[in-house]
């Protein structure tokens, strides 16, 4: 029987860039990808291929969330992920009250921690072609125009952008930067 899956320390943005098309151009030209930065609860979700095992949801500090993942969400995750053996782990932003997940990284796949894989390789493992009312995989943004569209989006849960080095191997905090929206109400 598999043992419970332990928390995996992953990249957390420590650096920030300003909301500026030239800054977006420079980082994209350097081979980084953008994604929406969702204002939710960071969730590292571990699921066993054994349907009888309860899913584990860790926060960014490695502690289990006080609230368990809703059964609807865990069932939907099992439907769209390919859980063949052992434990798998994904990272997501969890909008708890809305019962929604935004997936952005695959960090353990069928029992194998993906620390020797690049972000691009891990992202390719995430499901992207599926229909769900409660789960979405965040798309990668490759153009300044796509980044600017996100920054104009008025959905309250979109707080800006995150840029990730697509080719850096592992989970280094040096391979991720954030860009928060400026306060548009005062401008």
Q: What pLDDT, on a 0 to 100 scale, did the predictor assign at position 169?
A: 94
| Residue 161 lies in domain | 15-181
Does 118 fall in a domain? yes
Does 151 fall in a domain? yes
The predicted-structure confidence for 110-134, as pLDDT tens digits, reads as follows 999 999 999 999 999 999 999 999 9
Does 2 fall in a domain? no
Distance CA 69, CA 75 (A): 10
Taking the whole predicted model, whether its pTM rises above 0.85 is answered as yes
CA angle 111, 112, 114 (to 5 degrees): 140
Does 5 fall in a domain? no
| Strands, E assignment, 1-78 | 15-16, 32-38, 41-48, 56-58
| DSSP code for 4 | P
Mean pLDDT to the nearest integer, 144-148? 98
Does 28 fall in a domain? yes
Q: What pLDDT, on a 0 to 100 scale, did the predictor assign at position 79?
A: 95
Does 1 fall in a domain? no
Q: Token pair 């959905």 is at which residue?
A: 155
| CATH number of the CATH domain containing 92 | 3.30.470.30
Does 8 fall in a domain? no
Domains in the chain, number: 1
SS3 118: strand
Does 186 fall in a domain? no
The predicted-structure confidence for 63-106, as pLDDT tens digits, reads as follows 999 999 999 999 999 999 989 999 999 999 999 999 999 999 99
């Amino acid at each position: 029987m598999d043992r419970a899956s332990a928390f995996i320390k992953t990249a957390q943005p420590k650096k920030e860039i300003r909301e500026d098309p030239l800054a977006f151009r420079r980082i994209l030209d350097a081979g980084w990808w953008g994604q929406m930065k969702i204002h939710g609860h960071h969730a590292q979700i571990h699921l066993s291929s054994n349907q009888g095992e309860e899913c584990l949801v860790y926060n960014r500090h490695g502690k289990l969330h006080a609230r368990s993942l809703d059964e609807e969400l865990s069932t939907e995750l099992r439907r769209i992920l390919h859980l063949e053996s052992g434990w798998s782990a994904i990272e997501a932003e969890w909008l708890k009250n809305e019962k929604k997940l935004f997936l952005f990284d695959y960090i353990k796949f069928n029992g194998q921690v993906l620390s020797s894989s690049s972000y691009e390789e891990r992202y390719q493992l995430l499901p992207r072609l599926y229909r769900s009312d409660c789960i979405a995989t965040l798309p990668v943004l490759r153009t300044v125009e796509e980044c600017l569209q996100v920054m104009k989006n008025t959905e309250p849960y979109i707080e800006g952008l995150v840029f990730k080095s697509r080719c850096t191997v592992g989970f280094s905090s040096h391979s991720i930067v954030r860009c928060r929206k400026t306060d548009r109400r005062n401008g």
